[in-house]
Structure 1
Amino acid sequence: MALSLNFPADILLWINLMYLMSFVAFSLPFAKIISQYGVKRCIKLSLLLLLISVLISVFSINGIMFLLSRLIQGFTSASLAISLYVMIVEEFDDNELGSALGIVSSAGYVGMLIAPSFMGFVIYLLNWELAFLILIPIIAILLILLNKIDYEWITEKRPIDNKGSLIYILLMILFSYGMTTLDDIGIIFLVICLIFLVIFIKVERSVPEPIFNFKLVRNVKYVIGNYAAMATYFTTTITITALSLHLQYVLDIEEYIVGMVLIIAPIIMIGMSGFSGRLSNRIDPRLISGVAMMFLCISSIIFFFLDFIPFNFILVACALQGAGNGLFSAPNNKYVLTLVEERDLPDASSVLSTSKEFGKILSAGIFTLILAVFIGNNDLGPEHLDPLLIQSTNVMMFICILVTFSATVLLFYSKYKYDHDPNEEVVRFFKSIAPKWAKKRMDDQYED
């Protein structure tokens, strides 16, 4: 793809970044309007637009045309994802809703991990255009099945925050572009982004039906769960990209072997997902998610030494990543979505989905910036210096280590802080030797 469309190295990741930027920018606004105009109707329109965008991708004559198709695919995918969440919220009973949303989120996780390895085989055996053409029969089947459904999901019409939606879309676009181009123009974009953020918060607090439910962020446990989801997608998404580049350009491994390596994580994750869901019924989901995040952190540490370790260690790291993803997804989704009240569940679902996609775009943006700094406009290929790509991967993996480690600490802290029963004997001992001001503070904390 890079050779046929003449993509330089610092633009190559915009293929994914354009899609993710569009997805994140439109997710929250779509969550507010889809159910009011009909879920089935919006799904049909989104599928038709997705079909058109796929054809544009296949018949693109230059990079700009291809990136435009990725932009369309981003917001149509956002519409489909949110429509699915709204459909489930409307269709399932309260006692089944959390489990249903967890299963759907896990299925999306599996698809995200399987796609790169499967498409590696397709590209190796045939060409990259077929990777997009495969979507056409899938879209056709979905449209046929959708036409067999007579029921339409429509909720009570409420005022839509058009001003807030527009500001949010501009905010996410400015942030995405500014973060990946930290030159003079990029810094200006980030400054403008901060101004838009202040305006967005002010506007959202003044309207009765804001697109962002600020009440959710007051729940620290909910915020930690969303951060952990963001950290997981942050690490997993960029690890797939970085590992694929390293195997192909540094180790000079054929695409079909790269696909076999990348498929290790999805296979293990599929096997672990059902087990982790049942395990979360007996063990606190935060503990399971924390252990899963430890696996992801260890795999990132192994990938940090990618240029020094034998090939078998790479396979072990892929297995650890699959185990971490499989253990994390269902328990964390279940935990986060059961923290909120029933009326806030659609908002909570959209924010959780946005957190995951934001993790993708953040990691892709940071890696794009790292590649631009280390490699610049040089094309990736045999003539390019491998050490620069290795250094870029090392820096990115170090960031992944920091992100996963912080998420691990926060998950265990959430369990200790909010569900910890203090030892009364220890409390009485320290109160007996503490000064008066400390005793008062301990009494207040113990009451809380």
Structure 2
Amino acid sequence: MTAQRRIFTAVLLTSFMGPFLGSCINIAIPAIATEFNCPATELSWLATAFLLGAVAFLLPFGRLSDILGRCRIYGIGTAAMAVVSFVAAFSPSVSFLVAMRALQGLSLGLVFSSGMALLVAAHPAQGRGRAIGYSAAATYIGLSLGPVIGGVITQHFDWRLIFFFVAAVILTSSLLVLSIKEDWYGQREGGFDLLGALFYTAASTLTLYGLSSLAHAPWMRFVMLAGLVFLALFLWQERRAATPLLHLSLFKNTVFTMSNLASFLNYSATYAISFLLSLYLQLVRGLDPSTAGLLLFLQPLTMAILSPIAGSLSDKYDPRLVASFGMALTTVGVAGYSLLDADTSMPLVAANCILVGVGFGFFSPANNNAIMGAVSKYLYGVASSMVSVMRLSGQAVSMAVVTVLLAQAALPADIDQPSHLAAAIRLIFSCLAVSCAAGVIASLARGKRKAPEEE
């Protein structure tokens, strides 16, 4: 097997496992809540901790992958994630499981900061969109199979087996990459901006943690404020650093800037869908985990089928048009979820899942191709990290919005009642649809694609 094929296979495996792990946990939340005797709605921290752990170190890890080698960082990240996933299977409490989820996220930060850069560097420009499309397809297959496999494991075996499965697949990916003798680097001169890394980690952690905890502790607004102060310090440091973690000049490129904004808005509007639908299908409609998993399967399956097609289209046509079309369809679908109630027909729920899947399948690979195509090859590590920062930050904001609105929509004593929960879910989807509509505007505003050297 050639080095290119090994990289392609390894990246596809981790592209599969990241979302697989998230969607598996979502479908297992009622069972985990029962085992540890806690309300299911409080377990949103299982998703939030995972995202916080990943976002907090993405940019520093991206710079390290440029300096130390993308294969090396990717291999370390996959090995660490395999170990942590194995340990998570023995979690004795919710707090321990949340901590392991945070460490899983940190490990995945190493993978995400280098994976896209490694994939793009190992493929010629004319095939980049197609490779990204297949990576996106693997992501959506992970989302597709997560609820199905997770539902079967949870209903017939034990949710802990999910983590053993993750550890085995991630270890395979690690061995594939670590066996490659060559490596790809970015800008290696100038050293590592340690002060910028500290400011970035503090800013991302405090801001997202404060936002996620705001529903239960109003004083967390001050933690958010501290995070914004560190964000200002980070931007100040990046303007003066000889070799910054993030080249702020990249944001002069409208395609790069607006594509990243569109990505953030898209994920902030869509990531919570599987979590909310899992609660809706099982706690409002009374479906068992396996049946709920099969319904949740439709949306990401549609994404997986369409992503390679959308990636190839974005090689031939302006990614702005392909991505904006997908974002518009996603907006309609998310708005459709805001109409769910206890009597909504299941075929209608299924049709809406497919509609959102079509929209997201067109948006994601085309948008990522636009971002990676807007920078030079020496900045692939930074661009890869930004793709992941926008995605994971959007996902963290999505879960934070869910946590806040679930707490505000009803009292803790009655939020688990089907009628109250259904009303809360409708309210949340209405808010998410607004974010999705803003993403359409950002996607259209990016302008036409230009080669990096033309900027």
Q: Secondary structure at the match of 2:354?
A: helix
Q: How far 1:272 moved relative to its partner?
A: 1.5
Deviation at 1:299, TM superposition (A): 1.0
Kept after mapping to 1: 8 A contact 2:88/2:100 = yes
Q: Deviations over 1:211-251 (max 9, x none)?
A: 12211222233222112222332233211111110000000
Give deviations 1:109-129, integer Å, cap 9, x for gaps: 442444234312221221210
Q: Which amino acid aligns with 1:364?
A: M
- Aligned counterparts of 2:73 and 2:180: Cα–Cα separation in 1: 14
Residue 34 (structure 1) shift: 2.5
Q: Indicate whether 1:249 and 2:254 are aligned.
A: no
For residue 438 of structure 2, what is the amino acid of its counterpart? S
Establish whether residue 331 from structure 1 lines up as the match of residue 392 from structure 2.
no
How far, CA to CA, are the matches of 2:392 and 2:52 in structure 1?
9
TM-score when normalising by structure 2: 0.84
Structure 2 residue identity aligned to 1:218:
K
- After TM superposition, the score normalised by the length of structure 1 is 0.85
Equivalent position of 1:395 in the other structure? 427
Work out the CA distance in 1 between the residues paired with 2:414 and 2:39. Answer: 5
Report if aligned partners of 2:272, 2:395 keep a CA contact under 8 Å in 1. yes
Report the Cα offset of residue 394 of structure 1: 1.5
**Where does residue 398 of structure 2 map in the other structure?**
363
The residue identity in structure 2 corresponding to 1:303 is Y
Equivalent pair of 1:224/1:414 in contact (CA under 8 Å) = yes
The one-letter amino acid paired with 2:435 is V
Is the partner of 1:212 in helix, strand or coil?
coil
CA 1:196–1:254: 2 relative to 1, 3 Å: same
The match for 2:299 among 265, 277, 286 is 265
User: What does residue 227 of structure 2 align with?
Assistant: 193
For the 8 Å contact 2:51–2:396, the answer to whether it is kept is yes
Q: Secondary structure at the match of 2:34?
A: coil
Q: Which residue of 1 aligns with 2:85?
A: 54
Moved more, 243-252 or 231-240: 231-240
**Structure 1 residue 178: Cα displacement:** 1.0
Does the CA contact (< 8 Å) of 1:56 and 1:65 recur in 2? no
**Pair 1:90–1:67, CA change in 2 (3 A):** same
- Counterparts in 2 of 1:412 and 1:144: CA distance versus 1, 3 Å: closer
Unaligned runs of 5+ in 2: 1-31, 451-455
Match of 2:320 among 286, 306, 309: 286
Q: Please name the residue that 1:15 is paired with.
A: 46
Change in Cα spacing, 1:108 to 1:215, as seen in structure 2 (3 Å) is farther
- Distance in 2 between the 1:152 and 1:416 partners? 33
Counterpart code for 2:388: S
Superposed counterparts of 1:163-202, under 5 Å: 163-182=195-214, 183-202=217-236
**Partner of residue 190 from structure 2, selected from 158, 171, 176:** 158
Secondary structure class of the residue paired with 2:287: coil
Counterparts of 2:278 and 2:163, CA distance in 1:
19
Aligned residues: 415
Which segments of structure 1 move beyond 6 Å, counting only runs of 4 or more?
Answer: none
> Which amino acid letter does the alignment assign opposite residue 396 of structure 1?
I
- The equivalent residue for 1:100 is 131
In the alignment, structure 1 segments of 5+ residues that lack a partner are 419-448
8 Å CA contact 1:337–1:349 kept in 2: the answer is yes
Q: How far 1:140 moved relative to its partner?
A: 3.5
- Deviation per residue, 1:71-95 (Å, 9 max, x gap): 1100101101223234234433444
Residue matched to 2:168: 137
Residues 213 and 377 of structure 1: CA distance in aligned 2, closer, same or farther (over 3 Å):
farther
Against the structure 1 CA distance between its residues 106 and 29, is the aligned structure 2 distance closer, same or farther, given a 3 Å change threshold? farther
CA–CA separation in structure 2 for the residues paired with 1:311 and 1:95: 42
Cα deviation digits, residues 258-297 of structure 1 (max 9, x gap) = 1110111122222212322333345432222222112111
Shift of 1:389: 1.3
The aligned counterpart of 1:346 is 381
CA contact (8 A) 1:6 1:63 kept: no
In the TM superposition, what is the alpha-carbon distance from 1:413 to its structure 2 partner?
4.2
Q: Tell me the equivalent position of 1:445.
A: none
Q: Could you say what secondary structure the match of 2:92 adopts? A: coil
CA spacing shift, 1:143–1:327, aligned 2, 3 Å: closer
Instruction: Give the deviation of 1:105 after TM superposition.
Output: 4.2
- Distance in 1, matches of 2:449 and 2:315, equals 21
Q: Give the deviation of 1:107 after TM superposition.
A: 2.9
Q: Which residue of 1 aligns with 2:244?
A: 210
Q: Looking at CA atoms only, which structure, 1 or 2, has the larger radius of gyration?
A: 1
CA distance in 2, matches of 1:278, 1:153: 25
Judge conservation of contact 1:9–1:377 (CA < 8 Å) in 2. Answer: no
SS of match in other structure, 2:33 = coil
Conserved in 1, the CA contact under 8 Å of 2:258 and 2:443? yes
SS at match of 1:92: coil
Q: Distance in 1 between matches of 2:433 and 2:381?
A: 32
CA distance in structure 1 between the aligned counterparts of 2:408 and 2:135, rounded to whole angstroms: 38
Q: Secondary structure at the match of 1:2?
A: helix
- Percent sequence identity is 24
Which residue of 1 is the match for residue 98 of structure 2? 67
Q: 1:408 aligns with which of 422, 436, 440?
A: 440
- Matched position secondary structure for 1:253: coil
Give the aligned CA root-mean-square deviation in angstroms: 2.5
Cα distance change, pair 221–115 in 1 and its aligned pair in 2 (3 A):
same
- Distance between the aligned counterparts of 2:382 and 2:314, measured in 1? 23
Task: Go from structure 1 to structure 2 and tell me whether the alpha carbon gap of 1:373 and 1:50 turns closer, same or farther (over 3 Å shift).
Answer: same
Deviation, structure 1 residue 149: 2.5
Which residue type is aligned with residue 357 of structure 2?
G
Distance 1:112 1:212, change over 3 A: farther
Closer/same/farther in 2, CA of residues 123 and 157 from structure 1, 3 Å limit: farther
